């Protein structure tokens, strides 16, 4: 536990103030983000995410042209008219990048939310109902897990056509097994603790025990997990658009831009590099934040064990 090469020094001040058990439950929410914020990777990750979201929200106001306006010949290198050059139809790449974030980010957020919500629900039910239901739920989820996410999404699209909301549901659905596993794993450690037994002894209904006793204790790991899920959602949704089965032209969307402009890869690489960079910043940012949070949790756990 006291290894000399402990790299993550987490929050030296808080170690001095011993927490009372009652007080700690109140602070649990902020404790982890605070400890995570002390790590450089978290700060970089948050900065990345803020950048991407600022572009997605305010980008359209800053764009010099309309995303569908033709400003020159196709695949022109950067010039005064088009700062990042033009795309395969002669539209302004910069404007399209500024417009193209909303779709992917909104769809990814909704998909992540769907996956987290149902995954959490199933994980909790599985953990709390134990044995029979637990086994059945987890085995059924293994079936969804047997598809690589992109194949599952493609299967849905091949049946129902490229409908954005269907894609969101498909992508969210592929998250459910992983989220359920994580939340079940954490919840299993909690369902047998004394305060749950106490609540049962008091005759509290099962649903309210899950909601008010177990759920607050597993939010942090699930929050950490949602960062990775968000990055995955962006990857899959962008990949679907890139393959031609996601968002459809003439919409400005980062994944779609990569697909449309890839024939011009040697003539006008900026038309590819710009959307690629935005997707990379978004996914790396989400991963860094998630990584920082999980390191902070490990650090806090170690400290508690040392006390």
Partner 1 sequence: MHLARLILQRLALGIGTLFLVSVLIFLATQALPGNAARAILGNTATPEKVAVLSRQLGLDKPVARQYAIWVSHFVSGNLGRSFVGMDQPVSQVIGQPLYNSTVLVVLAALVSVPLSIGLGTYAALRRDGRLDRAVTTSTVALAALPEFVIGILVIIILSTEVLHLFPPIARPNPSVPVYRQLDELVLPVLTLTLAVFPYITRMMRAYTIEILESEYISMARLKGLPERIVIWRHAVPNAIVPAVQGTAMQLAWLAGGIVAVEYVFAYPGIGSALISAITERDIPTIQAITLILASVYVLLNLAADIITILVTPRLRTGLR
**Residues contributing to the site for partner 1 (CB under 8 A):** 3, 5, 7, 41, 139-140, 142-143, 146-151, 154-159, 231, 234-236, 238-239, 242-245, 258, 262, 265-266, 269, 272-273, 276, 279-280, 283-284, 286-288, 291
Instruction: Kindly state the helix (H) or strand (E) to which residue 235 belongs, with its residue range.
Output: helix 215-243
Cα separation, 307 vs 292, whole angstroms: 23
Cα separations in angstroms, 76 against 17, 56, 155, 253, 288: 62, 25, 37, 20, 35
Residue 231 CB, nearest approach to partner 1 (Å): 6
Q: Which is nearer to partner 1, 90 or 162 (CB)?
A: 162
DSSP track, 124-190: HHHHHH-HHHHHHHHHHHHHHHTS-HHHHHHHHHHHH-S-HHHHHHHHHHHHHHHHHHHHHHHHHHH
Residue 128 CB, nearest approach to partner 1 (Å): 23
Q: Which is nearer to partner 1, 46 or 280 (CB)?
A: 280
Q: Return the SS3 of 293.
A: helix
Residue 14 CB, nearest approach to partner 1 (Å): 24
- What does the block give as tokens for 46? 């948050």
Q: Which is nearer to partner 1, 189 or 262 (CB)?
A: 262
Of 172, 177, 184, nearest to 221 (Cα)?
184
Residue 285 CB, nearest approach to partner 1 (Å): 8
What is the DSSP secondary structure assignment for residue 262, as one 8-state letter? G
Q: Which is nearer to partner 1, 99 or 254 (CB)?
A: 254
DSSP track, 57-93: HHHHHH-SS-TT-B-SSTTPPS-SSSTT-B-TTSBBH
Q: Which is nearer to partner 1, 65 or 181 (CB)?
A: 181
Q: Which is nearer to partner 1, 19 or 303 (CB)?
A: 303
Cα separations in angstroms, 48 against 28, 63, 249, 280, 283: 26, 20, 27, 10, 9
Residue 3 CB, nearest approach to partner 1 (Å): 6
Residue 203 CB, nearest approach to partner 1 (Å): 34
Cα separation, 242 vs 253, whole angstroms: 10
Q: Which is nearer to partner 1, 118 or 147 (CB)?
A: 147
Residue 228 CB, nearest approach to partner 1 (Å): 9
């Amino acid at each position: 536990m006291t290894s000399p090469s402990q790299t993550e020094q987490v929050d030296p001040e808080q170690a001095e103030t011993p927490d009372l058990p009652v007080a700690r439950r109140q602070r649990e929410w902020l404790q982890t983000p605070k400890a995570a914020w002390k790590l450089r990777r978290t700060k970089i990750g948050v900065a990345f995410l803020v950048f991407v979201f600022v572009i997605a929200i305010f980008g359209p106001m800053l764009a010099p042209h309309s995303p569908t306006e033709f400003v020159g010949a196709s695949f022109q290198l950067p010039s005064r008219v088009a700062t990042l050059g033009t795309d395969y139809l002669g539209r302004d790449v910069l404007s399209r990048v500024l417009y193209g974030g909303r779709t992917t980010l909104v769809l990814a957020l909704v998909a992540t939310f769907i996956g987290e919500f149902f995954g959490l629900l199933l994980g909790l039910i599985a953990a709390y109902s134990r044995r029979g239901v637990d086994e059945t739920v987890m085995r059924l989820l293994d079936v969804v897990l047997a598809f690589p996410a992109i194949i599952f999404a493609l299967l849905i699209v091949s049946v129902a056509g490229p409908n954005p909301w269907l894609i969101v549901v498909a992508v969210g659905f592929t998250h459910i097994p992983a989220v359920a596993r994580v939340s079940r794993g954490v919840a299993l450690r909690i369902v047998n603790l004394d305060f749950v037994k106490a609540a049962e002894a008091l005759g509290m209904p099962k649903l309210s025990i899950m909601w008010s006793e177990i759920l607050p204790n597993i939010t942090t790991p699930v929050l950490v997990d949602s960062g990775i899920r968000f990055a995955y959602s962006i990857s899959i949704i962008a990949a679907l658009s890139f393959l031609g089965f996601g968002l459809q032209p003439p919409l400005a969307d980062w994944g779609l831009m990569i697909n449309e402009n890839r024939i011009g890869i040697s003539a006008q690489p900026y038309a590819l590099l710009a959307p690629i960079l935005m997707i990379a910043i978004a996914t790396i940012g989400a991963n860094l934040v998630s990584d920082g949070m999980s390191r902070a949790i490990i650090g806090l756990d170690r400290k508690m064990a040392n006390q």
